Amino acid sequence: MAGPRQDATKDTHVTSIEPLATRALEHWHAVGGLERSRQLVDRLSEGHQFSAQFWARCAELELAASPRNPARIRRLLERRVSAQPTAADGWLAWIQYELAENQVDHVTTLHQRAVGAVADPPAFMAAYNALKA
């Protein structure tokens, strides 16, 4: 039985501006709405790396929007899993979104990518099967 591929808690290098960027994201979303927070994220993401948690929060804001922008949501979810590919929660959140959108082809592709990346494939599979049930 193979062991974990990597430490699932280890992020890629995260820029030191992330705490400020997170506060700014929350502020601009509160006072300027989604469009202002989108502008901020677009500017900051050029040249800086952020944690999976930052990208998860950005995706949450997009998911709460009406109407939704599926292409933007997918870009943010991609950034989330790219920031921490061994963490199953990012993959599962993205798969859950695609299931809700009835995008079976996307689910299949994401499942295949995740199995090759997550730290604990059996635990990921159990959670994945629970999502699909």
DSSP output for the chain: ----SS-TTPPSP--TTHHHHHHHHHHHHHHHHHHHHHHHHHHHHSS----HHHHHHHHHHHHTSSS--HHHHHHHHHHHHHHSTT-HHHHHHHHHHHHHTT-HHHHHHHHHHHHTT-S-HHHHHHHHHHHH-
Say whether both 59 and 93 belong to one domain.
Answer: no
Say whether both 63 and 89 belong to one domain.
Answer: no
Task: Output the pLDDT for position 15.
Answer: 63
Q: Total domain count for the chain?
A: 2
Kindly report the pTM of this predicted structure. 0.85
Say whether both 54 and 98 belong to one domain.
Answer: no
Say whether both 26 and 59 belong to one domain.
Answer: yes
Q: Within a domain: residue 106?
A: yes
Say whether both 20 and 63 belong to one domain.
Answer: yes
CA distances 85 to 14, 33, 94, 118, Å, are 14, 30, 12, 6
What is the C-alpha to C-alpha distance for residues 81 and 27, in angstroms, rounded to an integer?
25
* Six-digit token string for 109: 């592709």
Judge contact between 88 and 98, C-beta under 8 A: no
Residue 89: which domain range?
85-133
Q: Within a domain: residue 31?
A: yes
Which residues of the chain fall below pLDDT 50? 1-12
Q: Within a domain: residue 78?
A: no
What is the C-alpha to C-alpha distance for residues 133 and 129, in angstroms, rounded to an integer?
6
Q: Within a domain: residue 74?
A: no
Say whether both 47 and 91 belong to one domain.
Answer: no
Q: Within a domain: residue 108?
A: yes
Judge contact between 122 and 1, C-beta under 8 A: no
Q: Within a domain: residue 47?
A: yes
Say whether both 90 and 133 belong to one domain.
Answer: yes
Task: Output the pLDDT for position 1.
Answer: 41
Say whether both 54 and 90 belong to one domain.
Answer: no
Q: Within a domain: residue 5?
A: no
